[in-house]
Amino acid sequence: MRLKLLKEKEKIKKILIIKLRGIGDVVLSTIVLENLRQDFPNAKIDFLTQKASLPVLEPLPSINEVLIFDRASTWNRIRLMYGVRKRKYDLVFDFFSNPSTAQITLFSAAKFRAGFPYRGRKYAYNLYGVEERTKFHVAQLHLEFLKKLGLTHSSTSFQVGLTENDLTFAQNFYKGNNLNYSNTVVISPSGGWASKKCEPEKFAEIAQAVFEKYKAKILIVWGPGDVQDAKRIHELLGRNSVLAPSTSIRQMTALMKYATAVIANDSGPMHLAAAVGTPTLALHGPTSPHLQGPFGTKHEWVRYEELDCIECNLLECPRNHECFTQLPLENVMAKFEKLVSKNSLFAFDSKERD
């Protein structure tokens, strides 16, 4: 079937990509878009995801239509399955490959159905990606999938749908708060799990050290569940920081796009910052930076390697959250200084600012 796909590439007119879960996971999957366009230049590409990721996908010119998967409604899922079948896709990429998306892929009746060969789901596919899920970074895993099918996999670019209004919002905010594109460090305390969220006191300690060494302006961005942490960081830093207002996910991304650097937990905003090209330092505790860290050579990550519980993958910490509360500041600053050096950040050396 793989050889048949390669022989019939010019016949592929409609493609569906399936990727559920968080915004960060969905953004990482957009690494396939530019590659697919090389192999299928005339095909329409639709994207099936969950509602939270709609804002960052909908403005993309490379995507024809975004379909929404509603986990909570059985009726909506049934209607979605028939809607997918009615659209008559030639090729479906199930980059999520859970029981529900496997069923959708099979029911699509697409001639070519590609997914990961996980137990209990292989039945839905006639093309398979790599099986070693934990061998590659999540972004690289998608490229390995394309590679195994014999498709183009050379582009490592992500796509995030920022509009002119989003960019104008960020530009006006920077101007109105005397923030400079070459001297602003964004702090993002967001995190999908409680155990992935660094304490605001540690974030403030890190931000203060960055301010003192580089005389950088500190901008704190936040999502709906992070407002108290963001306010606490701002309170601890005082006039050395600016607290962003309530923003949409795209507006937040635009604020990070214009920053000099971003320091963030392993989170959707961290992946968005890296995806728009801003040098990013990720703070990791329960998750693997090798699998979920910021993707690309301009970024860095840090974690407390000496802990026996590091990379526990637990949603709630059963101990005292030592991966963050005891994370040595000198370790963080060493990685941030590496980020600064390799990306030639800031207008002047810190000594010239004194």
Residue 221 located in a structural domain: yes
Residue 50 within any structural domain of the chain: yes
Asked if residue 348 and residue 277 are part of one domain, the reply reads yes
Q: What's the rounded mean pLDDT across residues 67-80?
A: 91
Sheet order of strands, 44-49 included: 65-68, 44-49, 14-18, 91-94, 112-115, 127-128
* Statement to judge: residues 58 and 27 lie in one domain: yes
DSSP secondary structure string for all residues of 306-320: T-TTTT---SS-SS-
Q: Do both 126 and 49 map to the same domain? A: yes
The reply to whether 213 falls in a domain is yes
Q: Is residue 45 part of a domain?
A: yes
Tell me, yes or no, whether 155 lies in a domain.
no
**Domain shared by 227 and 319, yes or no:** yes
243 and 127, same structural domain?
no
Residues 86 and 9 in one domain: yes
**Residue 131's pLDDT is what?**
87
Name 202's Cβ contacts closer than 8 Å, sequence gap at least 6.
Answer: 324, 325, 327
Q: Distance between CA 9 and CA 7 in Å, rounded?
A: 6
Domain boundary among 114, 148, 182: 148
The pTM is what? 0.95
pLDDT band at 36 (very low <50, low <70, confident <90, very high): very high
Structure-block tokens of residue 222: 């936040």
- Give the per-residue pLDDT at 84: 98
Q: Looking at the 3D structure of the chain, how many domains does it have?
A: 2
pLDDT at 3 over 70: yes
pLDDT score recorded for residue 329: 98
Examine the domain organization and report whether 134 and 211 are in the same domain.
no
Summarised one tens digit per residue, pLDDT across range 99-116 is: 999 999 999 999 999 999
Please state the φ and ψ torsions of residue 64, each to the nearest 5 degrees: -75, -45
Asked which of 121, 148, 175 is the last residue of a domain, the reply is: 148
Task: Collect contacts of 108-112 with beta carbons under 8 A, ≥24 apart.
Answer: 108/16, 108/84, 109/85, 110/16, 112/1, 112/4, 112/5, 112/12
97 shares its domain with 180: no
- H helix count then E strand count, the chain: 16, 12
Give the residue among 110, 35, 12, 26 at the shortest CA–CA distance from 68: 26
Order of strands, sheet of 261-265, starting from the edge strand that comes earlier in the sequence? 241-243, 217-220, 184-188, 261-265, 280-283, 300-302
Q: What pLDDT score does 351 carry? A: 41
Q: Is there a domain that residue 115 lies in?
A: yes
pLDDT, position 136 = 95
Proportion of the chain above pLDDT 90, given as a percent: 93
Confidence of residue 354 (pLDDT cuts 50, 70, 90): very low
Position 197 pLDDT exceeds 60 = yes
Same structural domain for residues 108 and 184? no
| Confidence class for position 117, pLDDT limits 50, 70, 90 | very high
Instruction: Count Cβ atoms within 10 A of the Cβ of residue 37 and give its class: 0-12 exposed, 13-18 middle, 19 or more buried.
Output: middle
pLDDT at 353: 34
Residue 36 φ/ψ region, left for φ over 0, alpha for ψ in the -120 to 50 degree band, beta for the rest: alpha
Statement: residue 294 has pLDDT above 90: yes
- Secondary structure of residue 282 in the 3-state scheme: strand
Tens digit of pLDDT for each residue in 136-182?
Answer: 999 999 999 999 999 999 999 999 999 999 999 999 999 999 999 99
Q: Are residues 82 and 191 in the same domain?
A: no
CA dihedral sign, ordered 158, 315, 250, 236: negative
The answer to whether residue 156 is domain-embedded is: no
Q: What is the pLDDT of residue 45?
A: 98
Residues 142 and 276 in one domain: no
Quote the pLDDT of residue 347.
Answer: 65
Note the pLDDT of residue 60: 98
54 and 184, same domain (yes or no): no
Q: Are 286 and 312 in contact (CB under 8 A)?
A: yes
| Domain around 325 | 164-353
Q: Look at residue 189 and give its three-state secondary structure.
A: coil
C-beta atoms surrounding 8 within 10 Å = 13
Whole-number average pLDDT of the chain: 95
Residue 158 domain-assigned (yes or no): no
Per-residue pLDDT at 350: 40
* CATH code of the domain covering residue 320: 3.40.50.2000
Q: Residue range 311-318: average pLDDT?
A: 94
